[in-house]
Amino acid sequence: MRLSSPFRGLSRIRQSKDSLAVLGAGLALNAAQWLFLAVKVKPHTDPIPIHYTITFGIDRIGPWYTAFLLPLSGTVMLGINIVLASLTVEHQRVTAMFIAWLSLLMQLALLAAAVLIFRTT
């Protein structure tokens, strides 16, 4: 099996309206994460909560810039998923659509985590 360029598959994703819409929604959720945290988290010297559990409450605190690791990881994973979807869309459209939907659900979960952690700060 010969691997093709991920950019070759991007034109196929553009032709597949469903995959393009789902990946676009994932991109919009990632942008909403960045925007939400840019509004809520301001540079300061006090530590901020970066992890919350139901059992213990806030169990990790850190400097303000660690809050942006959440949307950064989402951006990296979204980029990887776009490349994987573009590589598989030529041969298996169902797999590409599955990757796109998982990417959207992951972005939704990361946005929910950011909102739940920083809703009171």
Confidence of residue 106 (pLDDT cuts 50, 70, 90): very high
Q: Give the rounded percent of residues in the chain with a pLDDT score beyond 70.
A: 84
- Whole-number Å distance between alpha carbons of 73 and 30: 10
For the purposes of burial, counting CB atoms within 10 Å of the CB of 20, is it exposed (0-12), middle (13-18) or buried (19 or more)?
Answer: middle
| pLDDT the model gives residue 79 | 92
Q: Which residues are paired to 62 by β-bridges?
A: 48
- Whole-number Å distance between alpha carbons of 90 and 58: 45
- Angle at which helix 93-118 crosses helix 69-88, to 10 degrees, equals 170
Model confidence pLDDT, tens digit, residues 78-88? 999 988 888 88
Model confidence pLDDT, tens digit, residues 36-79? 999 988 888 888 887 777 788 778 888 988 889 999 999 999 99
More confident residue, 109 or 48: 109
**pTM score, two decimals?**
0.79
Lowest-pLDDT range of 24-28, 84-88, 112-116: 84-88
